[in-house]
Amino acid sequence: MPLRTAGLPGAVLPVPQSGGRPGAIQLTATLGPAAQLGPVTVTATILDRAGSAYQFTWTLAANGRPHVLAASLGGGNALYPLRVASIMATYQLPLQAGPFMTLTVSGLSLAGWTDDASSAALTGMQASGSLSGLGALPAAGPADVAGRAATFSFSPGYASRDLLGTPVQPIQGQLALLPPAARAATIPAIATRSFMDANNLTTGSVVPVFLEGARIPLRIVAEVASFPTVTAPGGAVITDLGSVQAYLAWQSLPPLPVTQWWLTTAGGAIPPALAASVPAGSGIISSAGLAKAITGDPLSAGPQRALLAMAAAAALLAITGFWVAIAADVRQRRAETALLAALGVTRRDTALRLCLEKVLLSLPSAALGVLLGTLEDRLLVPAVTLTSSAQQPVPPVLTLYDLPQVIPLAFVLAVLPAVTAVLAATRRPDPAAELRAAQAA
């Protein structure tokens, strides 16, 4: 089951008619009618295709006149398309009740969006009885969406002076403009088997995770045996970054920073363009660099050289064994060779027959050796490779087979017996002497 059941929530930023990627955000906002509101802070949270979040903040005057809200995306590092996940307007509550206000946003399609007016501080003061004066919570009104313009009405609320005329401490209110999908009750996630066992969970369980002070409910939709980068004995729970960013934006919390990117490159090396474009202070690790560091490590270079020496010794032992076997076979067949020579069989025919016999034995043996060696590496190497915590590594060990070296070596081992047999067959002793020696034995 996918972690993201649909596209990221939000309104897609338009692309300029000239094509290409938009280099800036430009919206028009109007807050009115003119009221006793100070400057209003407007914050827009934008998600790219990978779930990275970008926040832009503007100051908007509540004077009933349109104001352009523009910001540069900068750098061109965002992955398009871009979506506006939330728009938050934060203001200080007025000291007395006022009329309903409207916030109009144009330049973006906000179809289906709703507004939510609140004041967490005033709610807490009313619940604890610490509000010395009068007050009313902000309240959201109806929304009107027409094309690329949307108007949201709301009551800003108020917090008046106390009985002695002392102003109540400044209390903030907030108007949140959110897409429908941002109000999801839970976020789908997957969990490793060790995490499920350690917490006695089953598929469908809801796990609360606390990030940046917010409680994020994750609903486990699937279980996996392992997951890359998860090496802790207790396992982990994995979810979609974009869905979490949208949830944090709904809670008016700062987005999570992206600290790691995994990229596929040619040969596992670092492209020069990538090294030149990353921000200062960033570290880049490549699989090719790790492999070079491991092979150059004195602690691992010794065992690797020992393995190469063992492979060379095994090949030399196999060649020597072939020679010894062929020499013994030729010695045992002297009488047979002498009889064939007496019957008129030429040296060429004898050598060809012996060569064909050895090839029919050595070629299948070499092919079977390559097959068994490959199978042994595939089964044995992952089974004996452990991390420093005595666990199977994640991702699992990748066994590479250098077939351009193995196949020629196997071919040489298969051909050498035949060549040796041909050379031995070209030396033919006196047939009569060999036959008399065989009869005497």
Q: Which residues pair with 86 in a beta bridge?
A: 45
- Do 157 and 39 reside in the same domain of the chain? yes
How many CB atoms sit inside 10 A of residue 243's CB? Answer: 26
Same domain? 329 vs 410 = yes
Asked if residue 201 and residue 173 are part of one domain, the reply reads no
Answer whether residue 4 is part of any domain. Answer: no
User: Has residue 342 been placed in a domain?
Assistant: yes
- Among 157, 183, 209, residue at a domain's last position: 183
Query: What SS3 state is found at 52?
Result: coil
Q: Is residue 237 part of a domain?
A: yes
Q: Which domain holds residue 228?
A: 184-256
- Choose the final residue of a domain: 202, 224, 256: 256
- Number of compact structural domains in the chain: 3
Q: At what angle do helices 431-440 and 334-342 cross, to 10 degrees?
A: 130
291 is a domain residue: no
Do 320 and 418 share a structural domain? yes
Decide if 409 is inside a domain.
Answer: yes
Instruction: Assess whether 170 and 197 both reside in one domain.
Output: no
pLDDT in single tens digits along all 441 residues of the chain: 446 545 667 888 876 554 455 667 889 999 988 777 888 999 999 988 888 888 999 999 999 999 999 988 765 567 778 889 999 999 999 888 888 999 999 988 898 899 999 999 899 888 888 777 788 999 999 999 988 899 999 999 998 866 555 556 788 999 999 988 656 678 999 999 999 999 999 999 999 998 867 788 999 999 998 887 787 888 899 998 888 888 888 877 888 888 888 888 887 788 888 777 776 777 888 877 777 766 666 655 566 677 677 777 877 787 777 667 766 766 666 666 666 666 666 667 767 777 787 778 778 888 888 888 788 777 777 776 766 666 666 667 777 777 788 888 788 777 777 777 666 666 655 555 555 555 555
Q: 213 with 120, same domain?
A: no
Same domain, 49 and 178: yes
Instruction: Answer yes or no: do 117 and 163 share one domain.
Output: yes
Longest dimension (CA), the chain: 139
In a domain, 126, yes or no: yes
What is the three-class DSSP state of 139? strand
Q: Are residues 191 and 231 in the same domain?
A: yes
Residue 5 lies in a domain: no
Q: Are residues 160 and 192 in the same domain?
A: no
- Cis before 228 (ω within 30): no
Residue 285 within a domain: no
Domain boundary among 149, 183, 217: 183
Is the CB of residue 182 less than 8 Å from the CB of residue 7?
no
Round to whole Å and give the CA distance between 146 and 391.
Answer: 59
Three-state secondary-structure class, residue 147: coil
How far is the first Cα of the chain from the last one, in angstroms, to the nearest whole number? 81
Residues 160 and 198 in one domain: no
Same domain, 345 and 360: yes
**Which residues, including other chains, have CB under 8 Å from residue 79's CB and lie 6 or more apart?**
48, 49, 50, 52
